[in-house]
Amino acid sequence: MHVTTDPSAPWLIAGLGNPGPEYAANRHNVGFIVADLLAERVGGRFKRAGKAQAQVVEGRIGPPGPGNRRVILAKPMSYMNLSGGPVTALRDFYKVPVANIVAIHDELDIDYGTLRLKLGGGDNGHNGLKSMTKAMGSDYHRVRFGIGRPPGRMQVADFVLKDFSATERKELDYFVDRAADAVECLVIEGLERAQGTYNS
């Protein structure tokens, strides 16, 4: 599926997670972690967004001149399973085409640190995606950050709400940096180029 949109239209990049310090380092919050790095790169700080239940940073991604893109980075503050409401409110406020919306989220079915970018598709049991798809349809981009499957008999809900392990944390900065690069490539150069470079 190839979707072209107006190059002057803004992009809405939503890192998915749960608000509050107790969740900050959870596997389920890797979308927030990547969004924080992107905010740092554009030189912005997250602030509450008007009536939308979200924090946002506005900035530009890409080289100076006509090649760069206006982006709104967002962290829904509604809890993961209600992410669709804040993202839809921001979409409407900033007039963002659905094809210019990117969800950054944790993905159980991919090995830790592996990235997969795609447009559309199912939610694979992910409550944040389920909420977004219910609110706006499924034709948005996803940057899927692999967290792997729970060990032994650990329940999925317990696994995703635990912090990354000490071993995982050794490589986390590298993988988060790579995920932020992938988002920038997607916005500037398009999905096919980003998939060719970052899908592994």
Catalytic residue numbers?
28
Strand pairing category for 69-76 and 54-61: antiparallel
CA–CA dist 28, 80 (Å, integer) = 9
Rounded distance between C-alpha atoms, residue 116 and residue 144, angstroms = 5
CB neighbour list of residue 174: distance below 8 Å, 6 or more residues apart: 113
Q: How far apart are CA 95 and CA 79, in angstroms?
A: 23
Amino acid letter for position 103: A
Three-state secondary structure call for residue 69: strand
DSSP lists the bridge partners of residue 144 as 105, 116
Q: How far apart are CA 180 and CA 150, in angstroms?
A: 25
| Rounded distance between C-alpha atoms, residue 128 and residue 109, angstroms | 16
CA–CA distance, 92 with 37 (Å, rounded to integer)? 25
Contact 83, 14 (CB under 8 A): yes
